[in-house]
Structure 1
């Protein structure tokens, strides 16, 4: 056992002096190499030394004349036994080792299997005795218990029946509603009466041409796009994931782009409206969407300025056709790089008319709910009264992205630089000052 002094306001000898206590004495040393002995006190007999509660203590065990062993008794005492050969050869208790240090209640297991019971703690206990009641009240209680049990059984039975009935009604309503959803969409929109509509395909034919929708080209807000082969021509098949959620988008797509054809608009080849299946078949654009090519994080080679200029010009032509050259004005309402597709030669075409809106020529503005993608929405959306010109605002953001190679919203940037338009505004102010 080694005792070392701590540093304090009056003691600066930490780790310089220490004391060592062994079974035969006490030593004091000065820390050096080798340690210098300052003090030594030998004891008359070997002792068991302990350091408890800041004090040194020692236990003297009787000298062993014969074979000895320590035994932990059932009453918690630790007793020393020795083999005696004087009168009778037997084991004799020589010492109760801890008797002089502990009272009877402080020994382990002295108070049962729950351990030490300190003398300073008092415990209260309670006992409960079951008393047999007289025969008359018992019979009365049994009768009441039987009535109570009947009520419980009846209540549980009615609750079970009610649960089954409600579950049956819910399942019936679900299947009725699902059957309505699965009905052909012709009840809401008769495609056959519209001139110039694209071809209508069966679901099975589109499933086979895409090899069971095996090759995914991309994913959007309302569905996924798959590559397929239809009559020898490579096509892109867009499958709406939810017939109920994408119903309006499907109708808008077929109603707008299904009846028009322009070089800078993606051509809608056909569609499928069979039960709950809603699919659109487009011409295949090998280069994919523009966002794969303009942002700094993409792995493709950067587009040169001539190609970027041509993409902007093609997109503007497509937008101008929708606004000025159709019988009814068409507001796209979701102009962004993800909806600009590129062919093999990087010719651009507008796509995804799921959010588009038809506007009569005599209408300057229409009231509609807000739709589109955050970052591309024009301020007019705050009033819900919009014109087709909201596409021009989105187109301006789109041009900024092509030039800068940055997204319109980047949450990894500081707060004042999150939106690209604010960054452009600050840059313009700085440039004007210079």
Structure 2
């Protein structure tokens, strides 16, 4: 048996390595294999004129001699201090490995570690367990194929550029073609649920991505949430097939749709009874025998042809706009695109509130002459823009134009507002927390009336005095501003010096243990094991004695001091079983660190949003977690000397211990409210989707946490994110979807993957959803107190008898004029 397996592997190696000179590195590697990223252990390398370098561990020469050859290994850009493990095209000779053509630069077609580039002496290995792993120079794990336990016996770089792990009979176990990065090669597919993500200039992950959703092919620019700038919907001409595949109503379900890069076209397919049904074709130019398609850092999807020496761009694939103005970054932030030309917004009175970032390159974008400041929000204005629109509009609500403008002026994070008129001054309001490129349009081309406004900052008016005139004002204000800036600089330097010498919490009774930075550096093994990324900095695993700890490092001491003090004072003096315990802190020179108890099961979002539902939390576990969160919030709101409002309740801030007990964490945004205060005024803070509607007025009570808790309830029950751009139209916003399902009496339709455990607890889930609806009332005074929520969850109080008709009457809760939609701007 062993002899037969050996002969089979020998035959496979001959088959795979055909037309390859013996002097080249093989396109095949057997298990186990280990390569270290240095010239001593990887002799097949080349340095290019640009300063970039490759170290090839597998090479596959094109046997025809015309198309590109492919290599797999380490690649870097000048100054070559960081490397990708990647597949890249190269130009080679036919006699020896030294004949790599260094005049033709390589092109990356797949990369493993764009999120974490590695250094010299990093390693890649096929382990005996069948896993391909990449480790940095210090041995830390960077990436793997996660195929441990699979019957992998080797790795092959195919002629197509596909990197393959295979088993003893040659069957593919893992392949790079099924895990694309920014490029599709000939014969490669992009399947539903996968993404092409652009690469930035430094090879890290870019801000654009292309994906296949239920209804078609979509391109997005990353935002909060991502914004779509291209859509091509599926088209089925056969009515029978359309009916069976449910294209028109619900899209292609269960991840069965995909696009394939074929000879001469980019084609979309759906699967019906194991048969591929073509959904659309995008024809491509075809002057050469080898091509690739790449999503690039400007948002364009370009097709390239091999001219025998190098890759040449042939055409854009996406039909976005006749002159390209609908690409999100074509003119940079705030830039207005008109017939391919870029300019900055101008004021009606001839003033210039914006300036070009680079007058030689108008497409770099614009910046405000006076930056927006939340501290001077009362001196902000909306500048009207004539015949200007945007490439994409997100969530909206129906209101009057003046109310729409007022909402933007009150929200610190609103940068611009668009109002689409329906009749008179009533219509749809869109608040924009981020501005990419704008574009000019002719009113008759879009078929509706659109008003656009962009927020600008004004200086405070001069003090009234008979002796002041216009000249004095224009001379005095800059001098005053310069004086204030100098004063702020002196104050900051003084505070910075004191921060280096003093402990800001010295003398405060009941505070946790103070550690030095050196102690925490040793405890975390030089901050080597990262657990995750919090709202204000990374979190690392450490050990004090035999006890594990989690250490959070604030990224920016200057901007993070307020959050640091808030978190230490808030959680350091409170103690509850459902709050993460603060063990200590570090206030050592410019280092600000917080030391928490270690929560072995991580954050709630990693469990409720798992793609593989088979090992996710049971309903009983999720119900217990919901109750734990409620108890923690009830303690903060009602049992402390001052009311503590968390202001960032979300699954990522709910941590789970080894027994899945839930504890609230991350108090960096918390506010303290005296018992005799009804509310506080504060700038917008929190996370989009979890923000209560009253944030538009910045008047906040503890009921803002209760709204966020209602969102977490829905997410925990449904296992769906509150905002998910990968969902079909109508399902992106979970609250809006719930509205529709309640109207038709199908509440449990919002639950993902309804297994037996879920179906047997349907009645309980409906009761929890009712409780969520109560917490999500638009009027904060109608929301319950957290002590009421706890009693309902413990069975000591009935939802209907407490909330009355508000919960039972669907029409009252989901009135069309007052939808249960989250606040449309974000502070983070």
TM band (smaller chain): 0.5 to 0.7
Q: Work out the CA distance in 2 between the residues paired with 1:186 and 1:330.
A: 30
Query: Judging changes above 3 Å, is the alpha-carbon distance between structure 1 residues 339 and 431 closer, same or farther for their aligned structure 2 residues?
Result: same
Counterpart of 1:423? 737
- Verify: 1:314 aligned to 2:628, yes or no: yes
Alpha-carbon separation, structure 2, partners of 1:223 and 1:424: 34
Deviation at 1:260, TM superposition (A): 0.9
Does the C-alpha gap of structure 1 residues 185 and 301 become closer, same or farther in structure 2, counting only changes over 3 Å?
A: farther
Q: What SS does structure 1 have at the residue aligned with 2:745?
A: helix
Provide the rounded CA distance (Å) in 1 between the counterparts of 2:513 and 2:612: 36
Equivalent positions of 1:3-402 (< 5 A) are: 180-181=495-496, 183-184=498-499, 190-297=504-611, 301-402=615-716
More helix by share: 1
C-alpha displacement of 1:221: 2.5
Distance 1:299 1:225 in 2: 27
Number of residues of Structure 1 aligned to a counterpart in Structure 2? 261
Please list the CA deviations of residues 28-74 of structure 1 after superposition, one character each: whole Å capped at 9, or x if unmatched.
xxxxxxxxxxxxxxxxxxxxxxxxxxxxxxxxxxxxxxxxxxxxxxx
In the superposition, relative to structure 1, how do residues 325 and 278 fare at CA in structure 2: closer, same or farther (>3 Å)? same
Preserved CA contact (<8 Å) 2:576 2:632: yes
User: How far does residue 195 in structure 1 lie from its aligned partner after superposition?
Assistant: 1.5
Write the deviation string for residues 112-153 of structure 1: whole angstroms up to 9, x where unpaired.
xxxxxxxxxxxxxxxxxxxxxxxxxxxxxxxxxxxxxxxxxx
With normalisation by structure 1, the TM-score equals 0.57
Structure 1 gaps, min length 5: 1-172
Contact 1:182 1:274 in 2 (8 A): no
After TM superposition, which residue ranges in structure 1, 4 or more long, deviate above 3 angstroms?
Answer: 173-180
Which of the pair is proportionally richer in strand? 2
Structure 2: distance between partners of 1:302 and 1:201: 37
Q: Quote the offset at 1:419 in angstroms.
A: 1.2
Counterpart-to-counterpart distance in 2, 1:241 and 1:363:
33
Following superposition, the deviation at residue 178 of structure 1 comes to 6.0
SS in 1 for 2:550: strand
Could you tell me how far apart the structure 2 residues matched to 1:310 and 1:426 are?
28
Kindly state the Cα deviation for residue 305 of structure 1 after the two structures are TM-superposed: 0.7
Corresponding residue SS for 2:557: coil
Cα distance in 2 between the residues matched to 1:179 and 1:415: 54
Which residue in the other structure is 1:85 paired with? none
CA gap of 1:339–1:379, structure 2 versus 1, over 3 A, is: same
Deviation per residue, 1:353-385 (Å, 9 max, x gap): 000000000011111111000000001111111
1:314–1:341 Cα change, 3 Å: same
CA drift at 1:418: 1.6
Q: 1:404 aligns with which of 715, 718, 723?
A: 718
Q: What residue number does 2:793 align with?
A: none
> Higher Cα Rg: structure 1 or 2?
1
Could you tell me how far apart the structure 1 residues matched to 2:510 and 2:489 are? Answer: 37
Structure 1 pair 242–288 and aligned structure 2 pair: CA distance change class (3 A) = same
Change (3 A) 1:274 1:299: farther
SS where residue 288 of structure 1 aligns? coil
Q: What is the CA–CA distance in structure 2 between the aligned matches of 1:243 and 1:361, rounded to whole Å?
A: 31
- For residues 201-232 of structure 1, what are the alpha-carbon distances to aligned partners after superposition, in whole Å with 9 as ceiling and x for unaligned? 00010011100000000012310000001132
Answer yes or no: is the 8 Å Cα contact 2:604–2:654 preserved in 1: yes
**Structure with the larger RCO, 1 or 2 (CA within 8 Å, 6+ apart):** 1
Looking at structure 1, the residues matched to 614 and 542 of structure 2 have their Cα atoms a distance apart, in angstroms, of: 24
Alpha carbons of 1:275 and 1:387: their partners in 2 closer, same or farther (altered >3 Å)?
same
